[in-house]
Every structure is written in structure tokens, then in C-alpha cells.
Amino acid sequence: MTETLNVPASASMEPQPAPPGADAKPAKGRSLWSDAWHDLRRNPLFLISAVLIVVLLAMVAFPGWFTSASPTVGDLTHHYQGKPNYGHFFAEDWFGYDTQGRSVWARMVHGARASVLVGVLVTLFVTILGGLVGLVAGYFGGWLDSVLSRITDIFQGIPFLLGAMVVLTTFTKSNLWVVIAALLFLGWTQIARVARGSVITVKQSDYVQAAKSLGASTVRIMFRHIVPNALAPVVVVATTALGGYIAAEATLSYLGIGLAAPTVSWGVDVSNGKDALRTAPHILISPAVMVSLTVLAFIMLGDAVRNALDPKSR
């Protein structure tokens, strides 16, 4: 959906080969990426999303910093018990207890790992697979492009959630890798389309023609000249999509076919909570808030990066 906007946007970007992480000298010859970074640091949208993401990553890496309660050990005397009226910040009962008497806060913290892992890994694989398909289709053109584009069309013809559901039910056991595979199966098409459009725009620039006439090999042109310059729109779409995959994991779990019980994830908690909704809504709402905040953080980050990379929108 957003690719219709991103593709033409890339045409207006500075056509200088700019390896990411280049020196940010405030002089005139600033590269696209350092210029974007300069712009990002002043964007409140970026700062808010960066804080949210840092906290989230801390939860993933060091859940012990946030809670000492166990996410898997429950005390049935507490089950369905809601949030206490007096505040116990960061304590076991901060957000009440779930159906098994486990601490909801502990599960919110520990659930981050599985959910973020699904989001990050799916985004990584999708970017590699979709990026390669788009690169090959866009660079070589001709019949190869036609074939790859039709294959992309075929995979895009199946609604995302529906396809993921069908893939998941064909596996008898559902674990993290199966969920990742199911989301990857249909998820790569969006990136492939964006990458293809971006590569086609970059391919026509003078420096690519120059490299060609100097006799650079195809691989060198592709990975030294085209990839770094065609990357921007792909990065934007991938950032926004990361949040979407986390939401998709939770949605599949809600439908009862995503990650399952021994795994601690927000999706699993959401599907536990939906049956207790009428008596104890906090069991569903707490992990749902975590999912929403994460998605929000990545969408804001994607928006901020897009604005920074596209000088036209300033």
C-alpha cells in the first residue's frame, strides 16, 4: 500500500553512492544517510519511538531488570485477581494475575522475547528474500522480470492472514520457527515490489552507466552501486512491517493457531485472556497494550525514517 508513495519518492533522492555510517561532517557534501541521521535526531517522533524500542529491547535481553516474578509459576489463590487499588510499581501484582494465578506483569515482560524475535527474524528473512527477488527482477528486466513479477503476483493473490493460517495448520506442531515460516511464506512480496521499483529507478542513473562502461562486473554493480542506493525505500517499508509481523503473531495466537502454551508470548497471553474477558478484562488488555505500543513504536520509526530520507517531504 505504501509502496505507491515510496517508489516515486526514491527518484528524488540524492544519487550519490553513500555507504551507511559515513562520517557525519556538517560540511556541504553530506551523504544521504548522514543527512537523514542529522534530521532524525531532531524529530520528536523518532525520539519517542527510539525510547520505546530501547525499553523493549532491554525487556528482551534482561527481563530480570523489570521483574523478579516468574512468568510460568502461578499461585491459584490469586487467579483472575485484578490490579490492586494501591500502586505496586514493578511488583508482581502491578497488573494483577491471569487465569492460572501467574503475574500478568511478569508475563508482559517475559513475553517480549518471543514476540520481538518473531518480528525481527521475519523482517530479516523477508528483507533478504524479497530484496533479492526485487534486485534480480529489477536489474535484469526482460523475461526474468516478467516471471518473477508474476510469481510475486501469485503469492500476493492470497490474503496474508489467510495464507499464514493455512500454512500453520498443515504443521502439526506449532513453534517459533513454524510461525516465522508461515509469516515469511506470503510476507516477502511487499518488499520484493518495493525493491524492484527502487532498483529500476537507480539502474538508470549515470554512475551505474559509468560503472558499466568501466567494465565493472554485474555482481559489483549490483552490490556496490545499486544495493546501497536502492536501500532507502526498502528500509522504510521493512521498519513499518516489523510491527505488523508482531501484530500478526498475536492475531494468529488469538485465532488459536499461533504460538502455544509452554512458550511465553504476548499472543499466547492474548488467547488466554479472551476466554476470561467478561470476568477479568485486564488479562487480555495488558498484553494487547504491549503489542499495540510495539507496533506504534515501529510505525513511528518508519514514518520518521521516511521523512528523513525523502527531502521532498520537508
Helices (H), the chain: 3-11, 32-40, 44-61, 104-140, 142-156, 160-170, 176-203, 206-213, 218-220, 227-254, 266-275, 282-309
What's the CA gap between 108 and 128, in Å, rounded?
Answer: 30
Tell me whether residue 66 or residue 298 sits nearer to another protein (CB atom): 298
C-alpha cell belonging to residue 213: 562502461
Question: Which residues, 6+ apart, have CB-to-CB distance to 2 below 8 Å?
Answer: 236, 237, 240
The answer to the question of residue 241 lying near another protein (CB under 8 A) is: no
Question: Which residues, 6+ apart, have CB-to-CB distance to 84 below 8 Å?
Answer: 93, 96
**Can you tell me which of 80, 125, 155, 207 binds another protein, judged by CB under 8 A?**
155
The answer to the question of residue 268 lying near another protein (CB under 8 A) is: no
**Can you tell me which of 250, 268, 304, 309 binds another protein, judged by CB under 8 A?**
250
Contact window for another protein (CB under 8 A) among 18-26, 57-65, 136-144, 282-290: 282-290
Q: How far is the CB of 162 from another protein (least distance, A)?
A: 4
Distance of CA 213 to the CA centre of its chain: 39
Tell me whether residue 42 or residue 278 sits nearer to another protein (CB atom): 278
What's the CA gap between 233 and 268, in Å, rounded?
Answer: 33
C-alpha cell belonging to residue 269: 497471553
- Considering only residues 5 to 24 of the shown chain, the ones binding another protein according to CB under 8 A are 5
The answer to the question of residue 257 lying near another protein (CB under 8 A) is: yes
The answer to the question of residue 52 lying near another protein (CB under 8 A) is: no
**Can you tell me which of 61, 76, 128, 162 binds another protein, judged by CB under 8 A?**
162
The answer to the question of residue 275 lying near another protein (CB under 8 A) is: no
Site size with another protein, rule: CB under 8 A: 45
What's the CA gap between 307 and 42, in Å, rounded?
Answer: 12
The answer to the question of residue 247 lying near another protein (CB under 8 A) is: yes
**Site residues (vs another protein, CB under 8 A):** 1, 4-5, 150-151, 153-155, 157-163, 165-167, 169-171, 243, 247, 250-251, 254-257, 270, 274, 277-278, 281, 284-285, 288, 291-293, 295-296, 299-300, 303
